[in-house]
Structure 1
Amino acid sequence: MIARIAKILLTACAGLLGLVTGLGNIFDYGTNFEVLRHVVSMDTTHADAALMSRAILSDTLQRLFYAGIIATELAYGALCLYGALRLFGARKGDAARFEAAKQWAIGGLALGFALYFFGFMIIGGEWFQMWRSIDWNFQQPAFRFIGSLGLILLFVAQPEPPRG
């Protein structure tokens, strides 16, 4: 039972992380938009001309990217919280019932993991060469999210032993 409670609690924490991050990006829009703007415009990467063709200078496209990030943060947060509620409801049931309740939690955790791995490490870090920027390299903060969500995802996805 303790492992089930831990899975519920950690899934809820991941959900709160997504919602707090997404809402923070709405209420303090300018702070992280500035990061995104510098990353996608590649204005501090000192990359050669061939790589600079990847830069996105359109304010509209930059804002659409940012809106996509915010929407994904809110979505994974909501999925995780809903998943935690489903897990809580199934906590006293048999292994099959608890396993079935995991699907929303796993979906939310996987979406959050994908956001930071794909969006920040692959797209931001490699495609837009964020790693070259001294001031706007946010791969380390993204990696903290990847590590946290990934570990929780692995833990929650572990099969439930039969009760007995």
Structure 2
Amino acid sequence: MSLSGKKILDVVSSRHMVVAVLATITGLYYLLVALTNTMDTETNRHAVGAVLSMKATIHNPGVDWRAVTNSTVANIAYVLIVIWEYLTAFVLLAAGGVWSRVLTGRPRGLDTAVKLSSLGWTMGIVLFLGGFLTIAGEWFRMWGNDDVNASSAALQNFLIAAVGLILVHLPESAAQQPVSVPSEPKAQD
């Protein structure tokens, strides 16, 4: 049995299949997160406000000045986070779609699949490493917040995106590249 000249087992066990599945599942995950944040706005807006206000964290006059207590600013931050989640989801789901075309024998889309996957996971890193771990985690001291501490979830999401980026940017292995066999030298009489 073959799929455009390739054996099915070669396709389903390939690194490209792993990247396609990871991009699709990660995209679906971000879509569910964004939908949840859209449907349960009260809980999630409260969480963003709690982190920005720094009310439930370890207090120190040297860092308490960082607190943002303006509810309008918290709402804007919340909306921007949700929009970013939707955009990340759509990019990764598009990557999964292009990967499916590549895996079914349309190799011309490989470059697009790689670029979309890379963009989507980079967007995830910007959100979770940049936004949640760096800005919320350190600047607003979310790690010490008694009400809301999403540091472990942010780390989990950063690691998934990092694994995806590593996989998508690995060079093709020697087993996947065509092998040229040198001809044996002719014996001289």
Establish whether TM, by shorter chain, passes 0.5: yes
Which string of whole-angstrom CA distances, capped at 9 and with x for unpartnered residues, describes residues 27-49 of structure 1?
A: 01112222111100000113222
Gaps of 5+ in 2: 1-10, 179-189
Q: Which amino acid aligns with 1:123?
A: I
Distance 2:171 2:111 in 1: 7
Q: Which amino acid aligns with 1:104?
A: L
Q: Give the Å deviation of 1:4.
A: 1.6
Match of 1:63 in 2: 75
Higher RCO (CA < 8 A, seq sep 6+): 1
Q: Which amino acid aligns with 1:60?
A: T
Distance 2:172 2:98 in 1: 15
The percentage of counterpart residues that share the same residue type is 25
Query: Does residue 162 of structure 2 align to residue 129 of structure 1?
Result: no
Q: Is the 8 Å Cα contact of residues 109 and 150 (structure 1) preserved in structure 2?
A: yes
Query: Does residue 121 of structure 2 align to residue 109 of structure 1?
Result: yes
Query: Does residue 98 of structure 2 align to residue 98 of structure 1?
Result: no
Counting matched residue pairs gives: 163
Distance 1:132 1:153 in 2: 30
Q: Is the 8 Å Cα contact of residues 42 and 55 (structure 1) preserved in structure 2?
A: yes
Q: Which moved more, 1:2-11 or 1:58-67?
A: 2-11
So what's the TM-score if we normalise by structure 1? Answer: 0.91
Give every structure 1 segment of 4 or more consecutive aligned residues whose post-TM-superposition deviation is greater than 6 Å.
none
Match of 1:18 in 2: 30
Q: Which moved more, 1:97-106 or 1:60-69?
A: 97-106
Q: Is the 8 Å Cα contact of residues 101 and 109 (structure 2) preserved in structure 1?
A: no
Q: Give the Å deviation of 1:105.
A: 1.2
How big is the alpha-carbon RMSD for the aligned residues of Structure 1 and Structure 2?
Answer: 1.7
Match of 1:42 in 2: 54
Gaps of 5+ in 1: none
Distance 2:135 2:79 in 1: 16
